Amino acid sequence: MTAAPGPLPGRYPEVHAASLADPERFWLEAAGAIDWASPPRRAFDASLGAYGRWFPDAALNACHNAVDRHVANGRAEQTAILYDSPVTGTKRAIRYRELRDAVATLAGVLVTLGVAKGDRVIIYMPMVPEALIGMLACARLGAVHSVVFGGFAANELAIRIEDARPKVVLAASCGIEPSRVVPYKPLLDAAIAASAHKPDACLILQRPQAEATLVPGRDRDWAETTARAEGAGLKADCVAVAATDPLYVLYTSGTTGKPKGVVRDTGGYCVALAWSMPNLYGVAPGEVYFCASDVGWVVGHSYIVYAPLMHGCTTVLYEGKPVGTPDAGALWRVAAEYGVACLFTAPTALRAIKKEDPRAERVGSYDLSKFRTLFLAGERADPDSVAWAERALDRPVIDHWWQTETGWPIAGNPVGLGLLPVKHGSTAVPMPGYDLRVLDEAGKPLPADTMGTIALKLPLPPGCLPTLWGSDERFRQSYLTTFPGYYDTSDAGVVDADGYVTVLGRTDDIINVAGHRLSTGGMEAVLASHPDVAECAVIGIRDALKGEQPCGFVVMKSGVAREPAEVERELVALVRERIGPVAAFKLALTVGRLPKTRSGKILRGTMKRIADGEPWTLPPTIDDAAVLDEIGESLKGRGIGG
């Protein structure tokens, strides 16, 4: 870990201090980056909602800020979206003027289908331009969109339809994986059949890889319907909404089994994202920004769609994978071809690239002269992978941390304010408005370098969730009651003497070994530092004597021909050396791959249930049971699990 040399350089210290000392003034000034139908006269009202609401007297339209104002202000012919689909061999550039017209036409179609301000629209689509156009068309009308990851299981989609009660569903006939086509329409039909709520209409984008059968009276062909509307000159204007009105609802998993509908308000979100693009990511209007995520996740909402477009950037929409479409140089190819200035991807993508191309030979095949920074988020970025990418790219590699609930980063390294010294393993410093504390179980602040629960002192800054869809009380119980006066992130970590935040994992990833509270994330960092390890996961397994014992699962890098047992012995010794005997780390298992959600998060909870011999079901965010079966067999081979 590199030590920070005394006081932090750049403008960050004064900017963050100002945001906490006078948040009203700070965020009203930041609001100047946004066009308002009715500008805010005050930034915050503490009497509204669960902890207060931002810009309570203002009105605006998110689509206007993302599209129309750029057409009016000289960016009409600039490319807004670069669509690159290696799975279909398709590339397309959409200018801001074209985007405005397409969005206005689709919004007009939605009006004819009965959609108005405040109505909900579910979007169930792959990474195609129409998904972004659909989101923006909803925003144009003041309708609330809820994007569900394309290919999500029918039962999970049905739960979201019942909760959101959409007037219309926008969907595609299929999604495309590197090795197969995934028909979406049968899943949508099954979900609607299972749901007590029935949408009035479905608009279906027919893809040639798998055309869908339309249900008469309910379903409409996207291309035919929009073509007729365009021919008739049918367009809808932007509708001003209150800054406190919801822009979208995005569902995240809940501990009770019922998904939580995270509400994103319009004004605070636009202001926070507009601040983040130049100040955190260091990107200027007109530059190319590439977020290699999916619009089904919060990262895709914020940094594929709304933030880059609001900032007047060109955003890359990539329908492919970091490896396999066609190789481990896929992201570097996109960055070189389009002159990407900033790339944002997940640590799991980086580890997959490192596994396939451990010597980073693919990087040298591409001209990355315009590429400045690589940002990582989604899971903890292990120091070894960060160091590998730094060496390969000769660029800053920045881990930053946020949640679906917050909508934009909690902590990061603010490139636009002056790059801070990088500490491997740390997500750097809190962003403006985040008053971050590390608390013990009684809610008392802990000293520097002491592990505890990371909590955010209320109020949360603009951009964060004000509540859960239709459930203020569930919002309070889930986030605000454990530590009164704070938002509980449910993440464990430490803050060092320089103010750098290190997130060690979810609080339920802190295991108790013979009375010692240990971070599985810390052990994972040790395992990942082994030269033969591509990626890893550590879980706590129930132990009659010690309460829990750690168990590490590792995936070897491509081309490693050593005996797994030999590497496993080295890993046990490495944890003992780096963390000490207190870790009681005695079990390392090599596996072919780790079970993950489609967003790249490792299914540690399911792995733990398998290891503890508890009943488990295939999570809706993963469609490959074989990898979990392999985990079970590996454990059984060591006499663990049932």
Q: Which whole-number Å values give the CA distances from 452 to 459, 492, 519, 571, in the listed order?
A: 21, 5, 10, 27
pLDDT digits (tens, 9 = 90+) for 330-351: 999 999 999 999 999 998 899 8
**67 and 103 Cβ atoms separated by less than 8 Å:** yes
pLDDT digits (tens, 9 = 90+) for 53-86: 999 999 999 999 999 999 999 999 999 999 999 9
**Token representation of residue 365:** 């095949």
End-to-end CA distance of the chain: 41
pLDDT digits (tens, 9 = 90+) for 137-167: 999 999 999 999 887 888 889 999 999 999 9
Task: Report the distance separating Cα 575 and Cα 578, nearest Å.
Answer: 5
Side-chain-side CA neighbours of 339 within 13 Å: the count stands at: 7
Mean pLDDT, residues 566-595 taken together: 88
> Which is nearest to 192 in space by CA: 160, 216, 220?
160
Query: Quick one: what percent of the chain has pLDDT higher than 70?
Result: 96
Q: What is the largest distance, in Å, between two alpha-carbon atoms of the chain?
A: 75
pLDDT of 153 reads 82
- Residue 608: CB partners within 8 Å, gap ≥ 6? 539, 540, 541
What residue ranges define each of the domains in the chain, with the CATH number in brackets? Answer: 514-636 (3.30.300.30)
Task: Report the distance separating Cα 375 and Cα 364, nearest Å.
Answer: 20
pLDDT at 490 over 70: yes
- 3-class secondary structure, 502: strand
pLDDT of 3 reads 44
Task: Report the distance separating Cα 44 and Cα 24, nearest Å.
Answer: 7
**Token representation of residue 394:** 């000769």
Say whether the peptide bond before residue 383 is cis (omega within 30 degrees of 0). no
Q: 594 — alpha (psi -120 to 50), left (phi > 0) or beta? A: beta
Say whether the peptide bond before residue 459 is cis (omega within 30 degrees of 0). yes
Neighbours of 517 (CB within 10 A): 12
Query: Quick one: what percent of the chain has pLDDT higher than 90?
Result: 77
Q: Are strands 44-45 and 510-513 parallel, antiparallel or unpaired?
A: unpaired
Give the dihedral sign, CA 263/267/271/277. Answer: positive
Which band of pLDDT confidence, cut at 50, 70 and 90, is reported for residue 623? low
Task: Report the distance separating Cα 327 and Cα 333, nearest Å.
Answer: 10
pLDDT digits (tens, 9 = 90+) for 392-416: 999 999 999 999 999 999 999 999 9
More confident residue, 14 or 519: 14
pLDDT at 617 over 60: yes
Strand-pair partners of 552 = 538, 588
Burial of 592 (0-12, 13-18, 19+ CB in 10 A): exposed
pLDDT digits (tens, 9 = 90+) for 258-294: 789 999 999 999 999 999 999 999 999 999 999 999 9
Helix (H), strand (E) counts: the chain: 20, 31
**265 and 246 Cβ atoms separated by less than 8 Å:** yes
pLDDT at 384 over 70: yes
